[in-house]
Chain A
Amino acid sequence: MTAQFLPRRQFLLRAAGAAGFVLVPGLWRPLGATPAEVKAEIAKLVGEAALRPGLVKLDLPVLVESPNAVGMTVTAGTPPAGTRIQSFHVFAAANPLPNVGHFHFGPRAGRPRVSTHIRLADSQTVTAIAKLSDGSCWSDSVDLLVTLSACLD
């Protein structure tokens, strides 16, 4: 049967199934971290402190076409008087390891900011946490959609 006689969707699926086009899933084992694992990682970081929304800003595309190198930027607003931002911590719940990176800002840092490229295994919520010198923790999250073959249905 040639592609000509297939409905377009089936044609595309079939072509996609052929090796050489779908390289993405091979990078990761299919299983993501469990919500409990993610919670545990975040709890390790935050400790007794409450996790407050705000202050930190996580920039990621909401629609991810190519999850092998997704541009990510974490920045923050002005922290409460008498405190400074010590670090950012990023978690991707559906990755096989929820930890993405810990980013620390020393005495010679300017405004806390980090831009980098990350890998995302699947559609998921990515969370960035800012830890301040007084121990308080602030967070921001982005729900994003990784477009895998499922979107052909």
Chain B
Amino acid sequence: MIRQAAMAVALLATWPAAAQTDDMANPAFLWVEEGKALWSERPRPGAKSCADCHGAAETAMRGVAARHPAFDAKRGRAMLLTQRLDACRVEHQGETPFEPESRRQLGLAAYIALQSRGLPVAIAADGPLAKTVAEGRALYTRRIGQLDLSCAQCHDDLVGRRLAATAIPSGHVNAYPVYRSDWLGMGSFWRRLGNCTTGVRAEAFAPHSPEHVALESYLAARGNDLPMQAPGFRN
């Protein structure tokens, strides 16, 4: 049985030279390639592709991931980048939202985030998003779970200390979505959040729930000015 590798003709010689060496070693770029294809794919005849409305992602999406989550005036609420994608999927393409953590959702989010690589994180945290950021901060410092721990106790007070084999990171989200070798795949901040809430034996938050949106908004704002690194690689 021989299968011609389907959409695989990905000769990436056109990528920015500086990024080349490391990118190929990061399997996240297998997802990025899918997101790139999805960008100009029409979901069904007559429907518009992302590219039909937005044009080239390299210009249209530059800086977009760096300023998300953002407050959406039209809808009157904070929106994550993945919620944006869903909004366009539903309202402009007439399709159903992306399945959380699917290859398509992660691929498209990673492809869009890549267009902001190196730019400083720029969350407008003191405008109308401030309320959501404050809610996120409150959640971040609240003790939860059977272990009765807050995110802050680990990610502010114990940064660099070891939890089993793992050094506790400072909990930034500028590299998300990331490829993780122990997931054997990619995941968003929401998936990582699930690992941390399970870790302290707390109930997980649903994807795109108010808690998820608030925590991601707070963490993104807390990382303002850091360079965007998505899609990241975590062992």
A and B touch in the complex (CB under 8 A): yes
Residues of A within 8 A of B (CB): 2-3, 8, 12, 14-16, 18-24, 27, 65-66, 68-69, 71, 115, 117, 146-149, 151-152
CB-based contact A16/B163 at 8 Å: yes
Interface members, chain B 77-99 (any A CB < 8 Å): none
CB-based contact A151/B162 at 8 Å: yes
Distance in Å from the Cβ of B133 to the closest Cβ of chain A? 26
* Other-chain contact of B198, A12, A16, A20, A24 (Cβ < 8 Å): A20
Contact of A24 with B165 at beta-carbon distance under 8 Å, contacts A3-B148, A66-B235, A68-B181 already known: yes
CB-based contact A18/B200 at 8 Å: yes
Q: Is B164 an interface residue (CB 8 A)?
A: yes
Interface members, chain B 153-191 (any A CB < 8 Å): 153-154, 158, 161-167, 181-182
Q: Is B42 an interface residue (CB 8 A)?
A: no
Number of interface residues of B (CB under 8 A): 28
Closest to B145 in A: A18
CB-based contact A15/B149 at 8 Å: yes
Q: Determine which residue in B154, B164, B166, B195 has the highest number of CB atoms from chain A within 10 A of its CB, and name it.
A: B164
On chain B, the residues within 8 Å of A23 by CB distance are 182
Q: Is B201 an interface residue (CB 8 A)?
A: yes
CB-based contact A22/B165 at 8 Å: yes
On chain B, the residues within 8 Å of A24 by CB distance are 165, 182
CB-based contact A12/B161 at 8 Å: yes
CB-based contact B164/A22 at 8 Å: yes
CB-based contact B163/A69 at 8 Å: no
On chain A, the residues within 8 Å of B158 by CB distance are 12
What 0/1 readout, one digit per residue, does chain B (198-215) give for beta carbons within 8 Å of chain A? 111100000000000000
Contact of A20 with B164 at beta-carbon distance under 8 Å, contacts A66-B235, A68-B235, A69-B235 already known: no
